[in-house]
Amino acid sequence: MSTSLSNDTIVIGAGVAGLMAALGRIERGERVLVLAKGHGATHWSSGCIDLLGEAAEPLAALQGLAAERPEHPYALAGAAALERGLDRLRAACEAAGSPLVVNTVPPPTPR
């Protein structure tokens, strides 16, 4: 038996990073194949999204972290990209019927 696969993108890994990458491509109309072997951290984690959760004011703490450790992934991504990512994840969870039920990150202040 022969199997013919035709995909625009192949994503390796079915953790939160791989699945969000795949979702982004699907939203652009691409055919996506997700391949994974074994379990990743996502399969064992609590389902809580922790973004500097130990800080009273996570977004303010992010600025301090970026100043102290500019090489940190959160500093490299920047607050705006992190907020966009969280928004996308919230929307994806909502659409999947498993909404993130608690949001400890205050909404951005209108300018």
Work out the angle at residue 80's Cα, subtended by the Cα atoms of residues 78 and 82, and round it to the nearest 5 degrees.
70
Question: Judged by CB, which is closer to ligand FAD: 20, or 66?
Answer: 20
* 41 belongs to the binding site for ligand FAD (CB under 6 A): yes
- DSSP state, 97? T
8 Å CB contact between 15 and 42: yes
Question: Judged by CB, which is closer to ligand FAD: 37, or 111?
Answer: 37
Tokens of 71: 């090489």
Question: Judged by CB, which is closer to ligand FAD: 50, or 57?
Answer: 50
Tokens of 32: 């996506």
* 9 belongs to the binding site for ligand FAD (CB under 6 A): no
Provide, rounded to whole angstroms, the least separation between the CB of residue 38 and ligand FAD: 5
- What does the binding site for ligand FAD look like in residue numbers (CB under 6 A)? 12-18, 35-42, 44-46, 48-50
